[in-house]
Amino acid sequence: QASSPCSAQLAKDVSQQIQGDQVFHFRRTNTLLLILDRLDDPVTPLLSQWTYQAMVHELLGLNNNRVILRGAPNVAKDL
């Protein structure tokens, strides 16, 4: 993608390496190497939870609508 300089540079470097190396010339078929930049990732926000209750349940855990702090960092043992 033209808006991603990192992906463009990586694609250029890989293309030069493949063209300069004799290992990749044994196949003459059309191949495609797809390079994706995760900065332009529209799907990842849709995979995460959207409510605070769902995020707490995913990250900490809930049992009968009570937060489970067992194993959470920087939390006293008696909680």
What does the mean pLDDT of the chain come to?
A: 77
**Inter-residue contact 75 to 65 (CB < 8 Å):** no
Q: What is the pLDDT of residues 26-39, one digit of tens each?
A: 666 677 778 877 77
pLDDT at 1 over 50: no
Q: Report d(CA 57, CA 77) in Å as an integer.
A: 20
Structure tokens at 17: 């390496």
Q: What is the pLDDT of residues 63-76, one digit of tens each?
A: 888 887 877 778 77
CB atoms within 10 A of CB 67: 15
Give the residue, 57 or 21, on which the prediction is more confident.
57
- Count CA within 13 A, CB hemisphere, residue 31: 9
In this prediction, residue 68 carries a pLDDT of 78
CA–CA separation, 64 vs 9, rounded Å?
A: 51
